Amino acid sequence: MTLSLDFLAVMVVLYLMECLRRVGPDELTLDRRLGSGFRLKWPAAYPNKARWGWVFLNPLRPDGPSFSLTPAVCLIENFEEIRSADLCIRNLDPARFDLERIRDTCMTLRQQTVGIRRATIILLVACFALFPACLALIGLRATLVPAALVALLASMFIAGLYVRWAKVIAQGTTSLDVYGNAVRLMLYPFSAIRCADLLTRNSLAAFDPIAVATALCSPEKAARLALTEIAILRYGVLPQESDIAEYRAARLELLDSFVNKQGLPVQELIGPRQAETCCQTYCPACAAQFRLVEGVCPDCRDIVLQPLQSSNPLPLFGAQEESNA
């Protein structure tokens, strides 16, 4: 009995390791909730933080889909390192904020992956429900070989479906990666359980993360993403280069238009809930309060501090630029 429990413990650990996803700089992950809907996860501050991290996907919802999202570039001081006209033009494309296309894409994905999702759920139940029950009834030796055969057949079936749909859903994946992933799925059942994550990861890469959060998550989640970027664009130290300033102004105008159209509660999140009497300014990005009369926030990458006593509406980027001039 002790040997069986140890074996199950190893299985659980191996599966939970498959639920860990390493994400790159600036990458967010959209994962299924236990019930309905999605949740946003990111290991570093959003956006434009140049460090890797890990997120933990929902182990009880291996049927996906889950998505990786990348925020707009060209927002910070290392613009010269990431300068790309194509990326800047893409980030200003209103089509990236098309909520109907986002929902239609998700619906299409669910229809295309219905076979894979059902197979992964069956494999999950077989590994962590039927297999433990058989261990308790007939022991490890009598259960191990039949269970391994069943897991191998299920993994081969999932791998075959992956190869079929990878050419449709993940068109940017090379043939070498597709067949390499298929071999791993066949030989490693725990990886096969998370096949839907592998297949749908980049399916919403063509859309803006703020729009994706608006379509698939709550307005509050989308507002927090929008707030962080708007704070950088609106209250950040103004760049000297004219092309960077023009890009930031155009990006801010696009975000303001989207936020107003969708009614996202960004305005309610800007500023501290309650002003401290000894403080003079606050950071509109993190809401920290300071005794300084003016300056920049030390934690938010050169966000200009705003006066707490000001009751004027939040200025637009262009208005701030003119006042500083």
- Under 8 Å between Cβ of 176 and 66: no
Nearest-10 Cα torsion for 243, 48, 104, 168? 100
Give the residue among 247, 301, 309 at the shortest CA–CA distance from 44.
Answer: 301
Q: Is the pLDDT of residue 163 over 80?
A: yes
SS3 category, 41: strand
Confidence of residue 157 (pLDDT cuts 50, 70, 90): very high
Could you tell me which residues come within 8 angstroms of residue 285 by beta carbon, excluding any fewer than 6 positions away?
Answer: 227, 228, 231, 232, 235, 297, 300, 303
- Under 8 Å between Cβ of 322 and 300: no
Q: What is the pLDDT of residues 240-291, one digit of tens each?
A: 666 777 888 888 999 999 999 999 988 877 766 666 778 888 888 888 888 8
Q: What is the pLDDT of residues 21-79, one digit of tens each?
A: 998 877 889 999 888 889 988 776 677 666 788 999 999 999 888 999 888 765 544 44
Q: Is the pLDDT of residue 316 over 60?
A: no
- Region 169-186 average pLDDT: 92
Angle at the Cα of 68 from the Cα atoms of 67 and 72, rounded to 5 degrees: 130
H, E, C per residue of 57-121: CCCCCCCCCCEEECCCCCCCHHHHHCCCHHHHHHHCCHHHHCHHHHHHHHHHHHHHCHHHHHHHH
- Region 146-152 average pLDDT: 94
The residues with which 289 forms a beta bridge, in sequence order, are: 282
For the record, the structure tokens of 202 come out as: 């980049």
Q: What does the pLDDT read at residue 51?
A: 76
pTM of the model: 0.84
Burial 175-191 (b: 16+ CB within 10 A, else e): eeeeeebbeebbeebbb
Q: Is the pLDDT of residue 313 over 50?
A: no
Q: What is the pLDDT of residues 187-208, one digit of tens each?
A: 999 999 999 999 999 999 899 9
Q: What is the pLDDT of residues 78-127, one digit of tens each?
A: 444 445 566 677 788 899 999 999 999 999 999 999 999 999 999 999 99
**Sequential DSSP letters for 151-173:** HHHHHHHHHHHHHHHHHHH-TTS
For the chain, the average pLDDT equals 84
For the record, the structure tokens of 166 come out as: 């990878």
Give phi and psi for 234, each to the nearest 5. Answer: -90, -40
Give the residue among 34, 75, 76 at the shortest CA–CA distance from 57.
Answer: 34
d(C-alpha 222, C-alpha 224), whole Å: 5
Give helix 242-262 / helix 219-235 axis angle, nearest 10°: 150
Q: Is the pLDDT of residue 315 over 80?
A: no
Instruction: Cite the DSSP H helix spans in the chain.
Output: 2-18, 85-91, 99-112, 114-125, 131-138, 140-169, 175-187, 189-193, 195-200, 209-216, 219-235, 242-262, 266-269, 317-324
> Which secondary-structure segment (H or E) carries 53?
strand 53-56
Instruction: Sketch the domain layout of the chain as residue ranges.
Output: 2-200, 223-324
Confidence of residue 296 (pLDDT cuts 50, 70, 90): confident
Q: What is the pLDDT of residues 69-86, one digit of tens each?
A: 888 765 544 444 445 566
Q: What does the pLDDT read at residue 48?
A: 66
- Under 8 Å between Cβ of 277 and 237: no
Angle at the Cα of 28 from the Cα atoms of 23 and 29, rounded to 5 degrees: 85
Q: Is the pLDDT of residue 177 over 70?
A: yes
- Under 8 Å between Cβ of 305 and 297: yes
Q: What does the pLDDT read at residue 245?
A: 78
Above pLDDT 90, what percent of the chain? Answer: 45
Q: What does the pLDDT read at residue 271?
A: 66
